[in-house]
Amino acid sequence: MQSYHKDKEISTQEPPFYRELLCNTRHLLFNGLVFIRNLRIDNTTGLPS
């Protein structure tokens, strides 16, 4: 029972790192998409004039 609790403690201690990494990659991807979209908008608005 004690070893199970120890494993559970380790497993609950581990996820935050993965969650932070996932959050960071998602944030970077989102920023990249916004950046590309902004560039595309600038290009389309810049072309007519």
pLDDT of 5 strictly over 60: no
**Secondary structure class of 14 (helix, strand, coil):** coil
Split at pLDDT 50, 70, 90, the class of 11 is low
pLDDT for the residue 49? 44
* Mean model confidence pLDDT for the chain: 76
The model carries a pTM of 0.46
Question: Is residue 32 over pLDDT 90?
Answer: yes
Sequence letter at residue 31: N
CA–CA distances in Å: residue 24 to residues 19, 20, 39: 8, 6, 22
Rounded to 5, what percent of the chain is helix, strand, coil?
90, 0, 10
